[in-house]
Amino acid sequence: MNLKETVIGIELGSTRIKSVLLGRDHQVLASGSFTWENSLVNGIWTYSLTEVQNGLQACFADLKRDVKEKYAQNLTTTGAIGISAMMHGYLPFDKDDNQLCEFRTWRNTITAAAAEKLTALFGFNIPQRWSIAHLYQAMIHQEAHVPNIAYITTLAGYVHYKLTGKKVMGVGEASGMFPIDSNTNQYDAEMVKKFNELTGVDLLSLLPEVLSAGDEAGNLTKEGALYLDPSGELEAGIPLVPCEGDAGTGMVATNSVRVRTGNVSAGTSDFAMVVVDKKLKVHREIDMVTTPVGRPVAMVHCNNCTSDINAWISLFRESIDLFGFTVDTNTLYTKLFKVALEGDNDCGDLLSYNYYSGEGVTDLDQGRPLFIRKADSAFSLANFMRTHLYSALATLKIGMDILSEENVEIDKIYGHGGFFKTEEVGQRILSAAINTPVSVMQTAGEGGPYGMALLCAYALWRGKDETLEDYLDNKVFASCESSTVMADKAEVDGFNKFIRQYKNCLEVEKTAIRRF
């Protein structure tokens, strides 16, 4: 295997750091992973930067092992490397690269005052998790670190900087820090001016430089090579492409970068991305970000998706263990997901809120996981599991319904992420939620690192003047297998009944947050 004819995509997700090695045919040659989890420290959802480094090294070592076992080669080089990570959040540093406060991830809902004021100032929705909201909230609170800030970045931007020494990022990732003008593919100049006037701060001096897919974004330094591979076997000089967020890599991995296409990523969090061809009204539930080449995208982002499902399945596993039986994890998930399709379309009057953390779409700063039933509800395992699958997508549906009201046209929706790993189940539930056919590709389970690797492939192997959209259509997905599922009318009606009850009972969730 000619390693120069390969590319590596790495993504730091919420629960796993994953990597893939792709060949010229865009097929996965090897992969690696490392499991981790965020921590709640002093009320802040965070990961330490030591965890980041250790996790990256473990993931890369796992990739190296896979390459060695399959091809009897040492992974010493590649054609290009790309870094992706959870979007948004807040990582401030001083002029000597000292971290000034804990990494505040996308999961935190602690910037309501800043987000509200900036949304009004810009006439553009600024969600709580965006980097600019975190920065301005720190200013409002007059946090001690603010005067020492030399630059701020995201997790992907931080890792890219550690590998290359370059403070740059892709336009899609940058669009989760500060609004982007899709005419220039740069931070919106008028909004930058308004922020500077509000705060007296030169914002552009603090933000990373914005690049687009295919642009040069630096090379792996000697220090960067050791940061990723402390064995010293990885060679310096490898080109890196602009880092991107998990939203952008999900769009690429599902070939959803053209106008009127969309995708739904569903794992620890879930979000829908729809590439739009018209200006939308300002909605607090809808974020406007961009594709990796800068096209405007309407994003419905929800902080909570599968965590509550995982917790309940863990409880079921404890029950099984109590009787001395062993069940493979994949088998357990598959059977419990599949039994959900045997439940009533409206879940038999069961109700669940999966809120481990706050949720911007439903205006909650905190969360309390809840399960609710009436004495005469149809309390069966099938309805129980269906309820939790509905709950995982309920907040997403609330946001997607707003796009429907805006008459946003969608030609196709692709699903990816762990929610879709069990054949048909996740697709059918999502289709019932949004009343649209849902397709899943073979790469659905590992969309992020694959999408990042495809951005590397585009940078290296695209034709002259070939757009990202054309490259994906003609060279990557032309013969890709996919399956499409459309929920029937009874399933759509059942989800609509569930969501009406869900909205009606949100006050129960709010009371639990206040009282418990």
DSSP secondary structure code for residue 463 in this structure? P
Model confidence at 109, in pLDDT bands (50, 70, 90)? confident
Residue 388 pLDDT exceeds 90: yes
233 pLDDT more than 90: yes
pLDDT of residue 464: 93
The tens digit of pLDDT for each residue in 50-88 reads: 999 999 999 999 999 999 999 999 999 999 999 999 999
Q: What are phi and psi of 423, to 5 degrees?
A: -50, 130
Domain enclosing residue 21, as ranges = 3-254+444-476
Let me know if residue 70 belongs to a domain: yes
Determine the residue type at 43: G
How far is residue 166 CA from its own chain's centroid? Answer: 23
Look at residue 434 and tell me if it is in a domain.
yes
Looking at residue 78, its pLDDT comes to: 98
Q: How far apart are CA 422 and CA 412, in angstroms?
A: 21
Q: Which helix (H) or strand (E) holds 473?
A: none
At 448 the pLDDT is 86
In the beta sheet, which residues pair with residue 10? 19, 83
Q: Please indicate, yes or no, whether residues 29 and 139 belong to a single structural domain of this protein.
A: yes
Q: What share of the chain is helix, strand, coil (3-state, %, to 5)?
A: 40, 20, 40
Residue 112 clears pLDDT 70, i.e. is over it: yes
Same domain, 225 and 348: no
Q: What is the pLDDT of residues 187-227, one digit of tens each?
A: 999 999 999 999 999 999 999 999 999 999 999 999 999 99
Residues 219 and 75 in one domain: yes
Q: Which residues contact 85 (CB under 8 A, 6 or more apart)?
A: 11, 12, 13, 154, 155, 156, 159, 243, 245, 246
Number of H helices, E strands in the chain: 16, 22
**478-510, pLDDT tens digit by residue?**
888 889 999 999 999 999 999 999 999 999 999
Angstrom distances, CA of residue 299 to CA of 101, 199, 319, 360: 28, 28, 39, 13
**Tokens found for residue 189:** 């100049």
Confidence of residue 166 (pLDDT cuts 50, 70, 90): very high
Quick one: pLDDT at residue 416? 82
Residue 454 lies in a domain: yes
Flag whether 279 is in a domain. no
Where are the extended beta strands (E) located within 3-50?
Answer: 7-12, 16-22, 28-35, 39-41, 44-46
Question: In the prediction, which pLDDT does 279 show?
Answer: 83
pLDDT of 412 reads: 84
Shared domain for 100 and 139, answered yes or no, is yes
Tell me, yes or no, whether 40 lies in a domain: yes
- Indicate if 501 and 471 belong to the same structural domain: no
Is residue 297 one of the residues assigned to a domain? no
The tally of domains found in the chain comes to: 2
Query: What is d(CA 464, CA 475) in angstroms, rounded to the nearest whole number?
Result: 14
**HSE value, Cβ hemisphere, 13 Å, CA-based, for 45:** 20
Same-domain pairing of 36 and 173: yes
Please indicate, yes or no, if residue 503 is contained in any of the structural domains: yes
Yes or no: say if 473 and 466 are a contact pair by the CB < 8 Å rule. no
Examine the domain organization and report whether 191 and 207 are in the same domain.
Answer: yes
pLDDT at 443: 54
Q: Please give the backbone phi and psi of residue 439, each rounded to the nearest 5 degrees, phi first.
A: -110, 150
% of the chain with per-residue pLDDT over 70: 99
Could you please report the per-residue DSSP string of 420-458? G-STTHHHHHHHHHHTS-EEEETTGGGHHHHHHHHHHHH
Residue 446 is predicted with a pLDDT of 56
**pLDDT tens digit sequence for 403-415:** 989 999 888 899 8
The amino acid sitting at 351 is: L
CATH for 424? 3.30.420.40
Same domain (yes/no): 449, 497 = no
447 pLDDT tier (thresholds 50, 70, 90): confident
- Say whether both 26 and 96 belong to one domain: yes
Rg of the Cα atoms in the chain: 22
Q: Pairing relation of β-strands 44-46 and 39-41?
A: antiparallel
> How does the average pLDDT of the chain come out, rounded?
95
451 and 431 share one domain = no
What is each CA distance from 468 to 252, 258, 262, in whole angstroms?
A: 9, 9, 15
For residue 342, the model assigns a pLDDT of 98
> Average pLDDT for residues 127-146, to the nearest whole number?
97
Answer yes or no: is pLDDT of 445 > 80: no
Q: Do residues 438 and 448 both lie within one domain?
A: no
- Separation CA 305–CA 122 (nearest Å): 30
Q: Is the pLDDT of residue 176 over 90?
A: yes
Per the CB < 8 A criterion, the answer to whether 373 and 351 are in contact is yes
Residue of 267 and 368 predicted with greater confidence: 368
* Same-domain status, 438 and 449: no
Lowest mean pLDDT among 138-147, 255-264, 307-316, 333-342: 255-264
Q: For the segment 374-386, what is each residue's pLDDT rounded down to a tens digit?
A: 999 999 999 999 9
Tell me whether residue 382 is in a domain: yes
